[in-house]
Amino acid sequence: MEILQDVLVLIVAGWMTMDQNGPVVMSWFGVIVGLITGAIMGDINTGLVIGGTFQLMSLGVAALGGASAPNYGLATIVGTFIAVRTGTGTDAAIAVGLPVGLLAIQLEVVARIINNFVAHKMQDLNNAGEWDKMCRVAWLGPVICSMQTILPTLIVILFGSDVVNFVLEFIPEWVTNGLSIAAGMLPVVGVGMLMRYMPVKKFLPVILIGFVLSAYLSVPVLGIAIVGFAAAFWYFTSEIRKSDNVAVAVAADSSDMGDDFDE
């Protein structure tokens, strides 16, 4: 029974990452994977409690534009597994899950770097017209993505929670520093990519207002989001009014032209 549980937990961990970067059928939120992992381990209540705890921690945290955030879904899976298997409860789940979620940040950066080479290889094969081979190489992307959550989960399943802290202490400082620098650069690249395709000139005043609120007034993300929603709502309603006025004007012109034609 325990072997079946181990296999199913590994499948959930791998599918969670592929689903997050693909179809989004299951979702990677803590409560969802906590429910599924809890059901696999035979304790749904513990899974929901741990998942809800990590879900609250993840509020306002998002990996947007290439940024890396702690993998709270993975933390939920590992925490639920440890809590139910050892009977240590939610405190141990959080103590074990958080280091795993933080370790996943480094693995995510590594996976993205490797997948960059995979993407270039696919591009070369496409240019050469070798599409069958390109499709086979494309499967490496999901596999590499899933490995960033399968490997930590497998380590915890095989060796227990202590090995996670050992791995974090064993990694050389220059490696973690390099990955941290790479992770710090990714958000800048991501924001640049987003702004490349956004109508920046059209909405420059709104962007500057958001920057001032964040950088100089230290307004929380939720406050900036509310201001952004207000600006978007105002713009949307203004555009609707303009469209309605144009439609009325066109209808009036058409009516006048019809009257002239009748005469």
The model's pLDDT over 137-156, given as tens digits with 9 standing for 90+, comes to: 888 888 888 888 888 888 88
Number of compact structural domains in the chain? 2
pLDDT score at 190: 61
* Residues 139 and 186 placed together within one structural domain of the fold: yes
* Residues 179 and 213 placed together within one structural domain of the fold: no
Say if 202 falls within a structural domain: no
Say if 252 falls within a structural domain: yes
* Residues 117 and 80 placed together within one structural domain of the fold: yes
Residue-wise pLDDT for 100-132, tens only, equals 787 777 787 788 888 889 889 989 988 988 888
Nearest-angstrom CA–CA distance, 12 and 4? 12
Average pLDDT, the chain: 78
- Closest-CA residue to 96 (of 80, 116, 114): 80
Alpha-carbon Rg for the chain in angstroms? 25
pLDDT score at 167: 58
Q: Decide: 169 and 25 in contact? Cβ < 8 Å.
A: no
pLDDT score at 170: 66
Say if 222 falls within a structural domain: yes
* Residues 253 and 137 placed together within one structural domain of the fold: no
Range with the poorest average pLDDT among 43-52, 180-189, 196-205, 208-217: 180-189
pTM passes above 0.95: no
- Closest-CA residue to 73 (of 57, 88, 89): 57
Residue-wise pLDDT for 228-240, tens only, equals 899 889 888 887 7
Residue-wise pLDDT for 43-68, tens only, equals 888 888 888 888 877 765 665 555 56
| Mean pLDDT across 207-213 | 90
| Mean pLDDT across 69-75 | 81
pLDDT score at 240: 77
Q: Which residues of 236-258 are buried (b: 16+ CB within 10 A; e: fewer)?
A: eeeeeeeeeeeeeeeeeeeeeee
How many alpha carbons lie under 13 Å from residue 216 in its C-beta half-sphere? 6
Residue-wise pLDDT for 20-42, tens only, equals 777 777 677 888 898 999 899 88
Q: Decide: 117 and 158 in contact? Cβ < 8 Å.
A: no
- Closest-CA residue to 70 (of 107, 15, 34): 107
Question: Which domain covers residue 247, as residue numbers?
Answer: 207-262
